[in-house]
Amino acid sequence: VTPAVYGASDRPPRGDYSRGGAVLADYTCPQDWASYTPADHDTYRRLYERQVAQLPGLACDAFIKALPSLGVKDRIPRFDELNERLHRATGWEIVAVPGLIPELPFFTLLANRKFPVTDWIRKPEEFDYIVEPDVFHDLFGHVPMLFDPTFADYVQRYGQGGIKAHDLGAGEKLARLYWYTVEFGLIRQPDGLRAYGAGILSSVGELKHAVLSDEPRRLPLDLLRTMRTRYKIDTYQANYFVIDSFKQLFDLTEPDFTPLYESLEVATDIEAGVLLPGESGKA
Ligand code: PHE
Ligand code: FE
């Protein structure tokens, strides 16, 4: 089965979605920890080591604080072991999935405080760049942020809102909000701009590009603006949206989006990297 996947590109996803019947209706499956090879664990270890070295001054405080909670860094963590800490901290748990999954099951897992984590890891020749999320992106990028109580609540609300958006035919627009917050969000800390988005935090090159480079546009997070903006899946982002705090993010997204979806139906899309009149791009 090659399901239409969330965050889709034009290729079929590469995971094995049958696994001899081990994949359940909600797309979760057991993490087949025993099948990782020593080379797989070594890939994880080297990715972790390279990435952790460049976090200071670029990753947000919440991420740096929670990173040790992932546990082992020299091999791929066991999800059930990690879940003992995560569940105690924020009531979230991670569940294994074969790869990208369709919109509705994705939203439904999040609404139930279950974060889908792809269990396979990239091949050594994909060390620097991979198009689909793998276990390194999902664990290293996403899971530390789920230890932050406010952010963790935001992601659950996002899932609940996603189910509604799906019914209203607005799933694709709402996906842009996920992209520009959970995946590629920037936060203004008292000591400067930092990354909280998993796509940035798990990327060796994008961290500096997102936080330090003069190239990309940076805009204050605005719901309508963000959900009108297309995104690139195969290059560094041409624009980022900046928040001041996770509380601000939570409060901003708390109101009913139904009227917003109506406005979006008649609004035109904005290409990534394009500024509208009056925008400086230097949030
Ligand atoms: N408040 C949104 C709605 O009514 C749901 C939502 C919450 C969406 C948080 C995204 C993030 O649809
Ligand atoms: Fe991701």
Catalytic status, residue 183: yes
Write out the two tokens for 171: 């799933």
List all residues 6 or more positions away from 186 whose beta carbon is below 8 Å from its beta carbon: 193, 194, 195, 196, 197, 200, 210, 211, 218, 240, 241, 242, 243
| Domains contained in the chain, CATH given | 19-266 (1.10.800.10)
Q: How many CB atoms lie within 10 A of CB 200?
A: 26
Catalytic status, residue 137: yes
Angle (deg, nearest 10), helices 79-90 and 149-167: 100
Distance 111 CA to ligand 1 centre (A): 11
Label the pairing between strands 186-189 and 192-195.
antiparallel
Q: What percent of the chain has pLDDT over 90?
A: 88
Distance 199 CA to ligand 2 centre (A): 6
pLDDT value at residue 2 = 37
pLDDT value at residue 24 = 85
Ligand 1: list residues with CB < 6 Å: 157-158, 161, 164, 177, 253-257
As a whole number of angstroms, the distance between CA 178 and CA 60 comes to 18
pLDDT value at residue 129 = 86
Q: Which residue has the higher pLDDT, 171 or 21?
A: 171
Give per-residue pLDDT as tens, 213-227. 999 999 999 999 999
Answer yes or no: is pLDDT of 3 > 70: no
What is the overall mean pLDDT for the chain? 94
pLDDT value at residue 53 = 97
Q: Give the type of residue at 271.
A: E
Q: Is the dihedral of CA 66, 72, 78, 81 positive or negative?
A: negative
Q: Which atom of ligand 1 is nearest to the CA of 165?
A: 12
> SS3 of 24, please?
coil
Q: Which atom of ligand 1 is nearest to the CA of 256?
A: 4
Most informative mutation of 151, 158, 243 for ligand 1 (most atoms within 8 A of CB): 158
Q: Which atom of ligand 1 is nearest to the CA of 261?
A: 12
Angle (deg, nearest 10), helices 171-178 and 149-167: 160
Question: Annotated catalytic residue: which of 93, 103, 137, 166?
Answer: 137
Answer yes or no: is pLDDT of 98 > 60: yes
- Give the residue, by CA position, lying nearest to ligand 1 atom 5: 161
